[in-house]
Amino acid sequence: MSDPIPGAKDHIDAARKLAATIDDIPSDTALLPINKVGVIGAGTMGGGITMNFLTAGIPVTIVEMTQEALDRGVATMRKNYENTVKRGKMDAALAEAAMGRLTPSLDFGALADADLVIEAVYESMDVKKEVFGKLDGIVKQGAILASNTSYLDVNEIAASTKRPEAVLGMHFFSPANVMKLLEVVRGSATAKDVLGTVMALSVKIGKVPVVSGVCHGFIGNRMLGKRQEQANALIMEGADFAEVDNALLEFGFPMGPFQMADLAGLDIGWHRDPNRIETLREALCALGRWGQKTGKGFYDYDANRQRTPSDVTRGLIAEWAAKAGKPQRSIDAQEILERLLYPMISEGALILEEGISQRASDIDTVWLNGYGWPAWTGGPMYWASHIGLATVVAGLEKHGLPVAPLLAKKAAAGEAFD
């Protein structure tokens, strides 16, 4: 980690304030009253989302499919509040009052009078469209319908209702009761007062909201995908996965891509058939190496979750590289860093070109508040401008990676991202 880039702190503060501004929505736009919220799904995400509103004094009705899932979700929320009180972060009476604002239910009809309903169900387009179609026939007119999707097309979800103007994405980050970032995804039909209301409400519940347009993965996960592609390619070419993680740790990230995969769970999205092995990740899952939850993933974990790079995983990677005919070579930390970070800058430039993000500083705000990008840099786009966009372009070209037209244009003109 280096010394802070000059002006980084001021840039971060200004970017955060600017992110709350939506260019085409007048500041005097009348906002919708949000007096009651509905949440569908009492799992980790749904429970975390619910706690934000309860803590802010807004009653929530949470709906689940089974009594067992509902009870488990409510118990987890209560335990989270109890732990917050134990740590001295909240008064016991306030925690009890927050839980008192919660109405658990198994009936979708209980959402009829909610002013905002957020679904936090399984990340499947078919499931989400079914939920929104059902909500459309139950929830009162004038209410906002939001999806906590991480990747899916909000316009397609909105089209399953007769009120696409009332639909948007609210992409919370896990754990949702802790993480500050909230990507507010603006659909092509989302009404201005709906978007303005959710942005203002996001601040009220303690979040840092950033508007994103509709695309796969929005701002944050779309850029993360480019980093992960290179991380996976690097370990097939001879880089050790621990070295890849260490390159980001030394840059100032709290964790690297393979540590992050172990923490999230390698089994997320796995088809659960140990005999169908088509990727390295599936091979790890078939061996029960699901990450921290099983004590072994890319790393082996002790009782205190301290990690040691796994020789089993190294052996598997070598097998997969040989199978793919990938020649192995030594890869230094500088190349690892360039290949992980420079493609993210290029993708950020595409996001700007396409109008997915209003401004470069919004991208910085997303990555600083949701993904642990180190604050000393001011964020990815600010950092890229500081080291020189021509440096980024030269690095991408050296590694045979694509360069976004906007990035190439700004680099050629000696410009920075605004």
Report how far apart, in Å, the C-alpha atoms of 392 and of each of 28, 164, 257 are: 41, 40, 21
- At position 43, the amino acid (one-letter code) is G
In 3-state terms, the chain is what percent helix, strand and coil (to 5)?
50, 10, 40
Structure tokens at 187: 């659909």
- At position 393, the amino acid (one-letter code) is V
Which residues are within 8 A (CB) of 10 and not within 5 positions of it... i.e. 6 or more apart? Answer: none
Rg of the chain taking only CA atoms, in angstroms: 22
Residue 404 burial by CB count (10 A; 0-12/13-18/19+): exposed, middle or buried?
buried
* Residues constituting the chain: 418
Reduced to 3 states (helix: H, G, I; strand: E, B; else coil), residue 189 is coil
To which H or E segment does residue 408 belong?
Answer: helix 405-413
Catalytic residue among 171, 216, 271, 399: 171
Q: Is 171 a catalytic residue?
A: yes
- At position 75, the amino acid (one-letter code) is A
Angle, helix 220-237 to helix 360-370, in steps of 10 degrees = 70
Reduced to 3 states (helix: H, G, I; strand: E, B; else coil), residue 407 is helix
Residues 122, 124, 127, 128, Cα dihedral to 10°? 90
Distance CA 388, CA 376 (A): 16
Cα 60-131-155 angle, rounded to 5 deg: 105
Residue 318 burial by CB count (10 A; 0-12/13-18/19+): exposed, middle or buried?
middle
Q: Are 235 and 317 in contact (CB under 8 A)?
A: yes
Residue 3 burial by CB count (10 A; 0-12/13-18/19+): exposed, middle or buried?
exposed
- At position 244, the amino acid (one-letter code) is V
Distance CA 357, CA 348 (A): 9
Distance CA 341, CA 251 (A): 10
Residues classed as catalytic: 171
